[in-house]
Amino acid sequence: MCYEVFTGIFKTKDFNRNQIPSGGHFVIHYSSALKEKTFKDIEKNLDENFDSVCDFHSLSEEEKKNLITNIYIYDEQGLFLLCSFGNKEYFGALGQGGNKEINLANPQKVPYEEQIQCALHEFVHVVTFLDNDYDNRRFGWVNEGIAMYLAGQKTTEQDLKDAFNSPLNEENLNIIFGDDYDKFCKISGHTYSYLIIDFIMNNAEFGKEKLQKILREPQISPFEILGVSKEEFQQGWIKFFETKYGANVS
């Protein structure tokens, strides 16, 4: 791991790769206000999960060896939004595969453990979009669900309560399985997306291999890969949701 202090609003894009220790895959750029424990915690979590995330995406050993991700940690969320192009007020983190870059608001200024996990969540996005254009993604539930699942961001009781406040009527199902990301975020889309991936991984007819194929072949409808219609998938997921989590679906 390599660390660099930056000041001002312009990120240092060029860095000396010789500074990266052998086997290191991340370069953390941080403000002077960041405590050492913070980036050590981020480093530890990323290093411990690097192989599992890459292996899930079927990266070769050579691709893993050459994958180096820059992480920029901003002291204030406003500066994070300005520099990371995450122009949504509810954003606190952003991962970009094409740039191999993660941008984070300072974990010390937001719920700490959640933001440490967010760094891993965004790294999943980086790997997912290494070969796919982030702006052309079609299914938020696939991308966010896989990122949450691999980052271990399990749904909490409060997450489920918040999700239940957005009833699974036809309108919200269209949002969850659609391509309007703003609306997706506003109806607890991230929580739902985790539950959808949980359903796929625990369904004998679907499972890990088909989920990996969804990642490898984004040009094909995920429902086609799963061998069901969108409606059949939704019905199966809702039944799973009701049974496992006690959802009151109307």
Higher pLDDT, 8 or 94: 94
103: confidence class by pLDDT, cuts 50, 70, 90:
confident
167: confidence class by pLDDT, cuts 50, 70, 90:
low
pLDDT above 90 covers a percentage of the chain that reads 21
Q: Does position 83 have pLDDT exceeding 60, yes or no?
A: no
93: confidence class by pLDDT, cuts 50, 70, 90:
low
Higher pLDDT, 220 or 92: 220
pLDDT digits (tens, 9 = 90+) for 26-68: 888 776 666 778 878 888 899 999 999 999 988 999 999 899 8
Please report the pLDDT score of residue 35 as a whole number: 75
Q: Name the average pLDDT for the chain.
A: 75
89: confidence class by pLDDT, cuts 50, 70, 90:
very low
Do the beta carbons of residue 137 and residue 220 sit within 8 Å?
Answer: no
201: confidence class by pLDDT, cuts 50, 70, 90:
very high
Amino acid identity, position 98: G
| Residue 30 β-bridge partners | 5, 73
Between 189-201 and 140-150, two packed helices, what is the crossing angle to 10 degrees? 70
Question: Closest by alpha carbon to 150, among 10, 26, 60, 54?
Answer: 54
Which CA distances in Å does 198 have to 155, 157, 159, 203, 235?
10, 16, 15, 9, 15
Please report the pLDDT score of residue 32 as a whole number: 63
Which CA distances in Å does 97 have to 173, 182, 189, 192, 250?
28, 20, 21, 23, 38
Higher pLDDT, 133 or 70: 70
Higher pLDDT, 106 or 196: 196
Between 36-56 and 112-128, two packed helices, what is the crossing angle to 10 degrees? 40
Please report the pLDDT score of residue 135 as a whole number: 45
Please report the pLDDT score of residue 163 as a whole number: 67
Exposed, middle or buried: residue 188 (CB in 10 Å: 0-12, 13-18, 19+)? buried
Query: What gap in Å lies between CA 176 and CA 166, rounded to an integer?
Result: 11
Query: What gap in Å lies between CA 117 and CA 148, rounded to an integer?
Result: 9
Q: What is the mean pLDDT of residues 98-118?
A: 74
Looking up tokens 């094409």 gives 98
State pTM to two decimals.
Answer: 0.80
Query: What gap in Å lies between CA 28 and CA 22, rounded to an integer?
Result: 16
pLDDT above 70 covers a percentage of the chain that reads 69
Q: What SS3 state is found at 13?
A: coil
